Homo-oligomer: A and B are copies of this chain.
Amino acid sequence: DTIRHLFKQIFQASLGLQEEEKKSLLISRKNKSQDTVVQVGPLAVGGGTPIIISGPCSVETEAQMEAVASHLQGEGIALLRGGAYKPRTSPYDFQGLGKEGLRILSETAKRHQMVCVSEIVTPEDVEMACEYLDVIQIGARNMQNFELLKAAGSVRKPILLKRGLAATIEELLYAAEYIASRGNDQIILCERGIRTYEKATRNTLDISAVPILKQESHLPVVVDISHSTGRKDIMFPIAKAALAVGADGLIIETHNEPAVALSDAKQQLDLDQFSTLLNQLRQSGFLPTTVQA
């Protein structure tokens, strides 16, 4: 029994040693106690004021982006999103406008004094994308596309790294470390829901991941409330939960005409719904009432 007790202590010590190893990760809170603040144009992601990233799932046309961006600008939103390279389950689904989509996104954002983010899906496009984008997104399906992570680590652009559909919190941290280990420490982590048996939501938002990520790492963490739920009807409570739990920002998909969107039609808010949501969040004190989100 004393032996058992002794062994338990030694067991704990062994775990401690393993912790030691993790401490040395560049992205670890143990390695740097202060929060990393990722500056994106006028926005300080992780700087204490939550940010809002919004825009359509896919960039479809100039007119669509103009409609969305002008509305978002009017609401004080500074960070415009829009997919140009779309990872789609079927090869016969709309695949995005590619480079042309990046151009539309970028020009629209500039016209409205906004900054922009879009997903890049292959290493060779990373450098090109830097010309158009203020933040490069690595999507859920590519969280362990390590060559893409390395490419993202080699440029000097902020990276928005989404958690994989079935990735553990630890794997997400190691994915971020791939980027950091190449010299780019401007990383924003994103919880976007994980795959479980529950079908009432598109994915299961793992809200606990947010404080754990912020505890384990010094990187900012945002929550994609559109993909994690896949439902418009619970956006307000989920947005509040995400902000209350400590998220540094939200991703909210918006579209000028969701019903005819070329992807994710069901989960994108229309522009009025977005304004309503924003007002609710501001009036209930979950978002500051001043300009930029």
Contacts and interface: CB of A to CB of B under 8 A. Distances in A.
Interface of A: 4, 7-8, 10-11, 13-14, 17, 87-92, 121-124, 141-142, 144-148, 164-166, 168-171, 174, 177-178, 181, 194-201, 204-212, 215, 228-229, 231, 233-234, 237-238, 240-246, 285-286
A89 to B, nearest CB: 5
A121 B242 CA distance: 34
A182 B5 CA distance: 30
Nearest to A165: B166
A234 B88 CA distance: 29
Contact of A144 (B87, B177, B242): B87
Given A166-B197, A177-B90, A197-B168, A234 B208 contact: yes
A177 B91 contact: yes
A257 B164 CA distance: 33
Given A90-B174, A174-B89, A196 B200 contact: no
30 contacts: A7-B13, A7-B17, A10-B11, A89-B171, A91-B178, A121-B146, A121-B147, A122-B123, A141-B145, A142-B145, A165-B166, A168-B198, A168-B199, A168-B200, A194-B196, A195-B197, A198-B206, A204-B204, A204-B206, A207-B238, A210-B237, A211-B237, A211-B238, A215-B234, A237-B246, A238-B245, A240-B245, A241-B245, A244-B244, A285-B285
A91 B182 CA distance: 10
Contact of A7 (B10, B92, B198): B10
A280 to B, nearest CB: 12
Contacts of A166: 164-166, 195, 197
A228 to B, nearest CB: 8
A181 B124 contact: no
A96 B88 CA distance: 30
A208 B205 contact: yes
